[in-house]
Amino acid sequence: MSFRRVTRQFAIFSAAVAMTGTVAALALATPAFASGPPASSEVPGSALPIGTHTSGPFSSGQVIEVKIPANSTLTPGAGIKIIECAAPGGVAPSDPSSCDGKTVQGDTILAGTDGSIDYTVSGTTSGFTIYALPDVTSLGESPGDQPQCDTSHECVLYVGENQNDFTQPHFFSQPFFVTPTPGDTGANPGDGTPEAPLAIGLPLAAAAVVGGTLFLRRRRHAAASTKS
């Protein structure tokens, strides 16, 4: 192989390495909001209790923070609506009929320059008020109205640009439960998780299943050893 050919191949190799480094650098330099959570998805930890709270359902009348991280779904500067919706089994709704229009926030909310949302008690906003639904006291609804949101029926928050059109950019909060608090005072605020017995019972049930499986395996192993 001639010296000229070796030099040429080395130059090509060096250029390829340099290009790879440039592509990697550009990838690292890509703004975080260019991705973010998938559109229309449930965003974990986006419905957050404020101040002192306990484990368990939110309390009807409790004011919470709604926070969506940087993303490429919401239009920067767009007006945002937050509304409470039924989510049976923790599954977000597919159309607006599952949402309660009376729960929409009263303040103006604008998406940040990176698409993020942080609706809380600080600044010019007051936070979002959660209700057990249907709500007679504050929203003037009647028992039996839909949607339902309480300690047995999960809900989510719609966070998006048009609560009447689910084809428009939006997200949902993580599913949560709400305790019907007399007078919607928000007393005994929780973090939106299930009732304590259920929260405790699920891990115990899982432990029982695992323990039973291990017991059966050991019993079968002992039986097999005896036969051999």
Query: Chunked in runs of 10, what are the mean pLDDT values of the chain (228 residues)?
Result: 48 44 38 74 97 96 96 97 98 97 94 95 75 97 96 98 97 98 97 73 44 49 53
Residue 13 confidence (pLDDT): 45
Taking alpha carbons only, the member of 74, 141, 166 closest to residue 66 is 74
Paired residues of 170 in beta bridges: 160
Peptide bond just before 38 cis, omega within 30 deg: no
Residue 19 confidence (pLDDT): 40
CA 56 to chain centre: 17
Q: With left for phi above 0 and alpha for psi between -120 and 50, is residue 13 left, alpha or beta? A: alpha
- Report phi then psi at 131, rounded to 5: -130, 145
pTM for the model: 0.72
* Burial zone of 216 (CB within 10 Å; 0-12 exposed, 13-18 middle, 19+ buried): exposed
Residue 195 confidence (pLDDT): 85
The amino acid at residue 1 is: M
Residue 207 confidence (pLDDT): 46
Taking alpha carbons only, the member of 87, 50, 58, 85 closest to residue 163 is 85
Q: What angle do CA 162, 164, 169 make, to 5 degrees?
A: 35
Taking the alpha carbons at both ends of the chain, their separation in whole angstroms is 69
| Run of H or E residues at 178 | strand 178-179
User: How many Å apart are CA 83 and CA 139, to the nearest integer?
Assistant: 13
Residue 205 confidence (pLDDT): 43
Residue 216 confidence (pLDDT): 44
User: How many Å apart are CA 50 and CA 63, to the nearest integer?
Assistant: 7
Q: Which one-letter DSSP state was computed for residue 174?
A: -
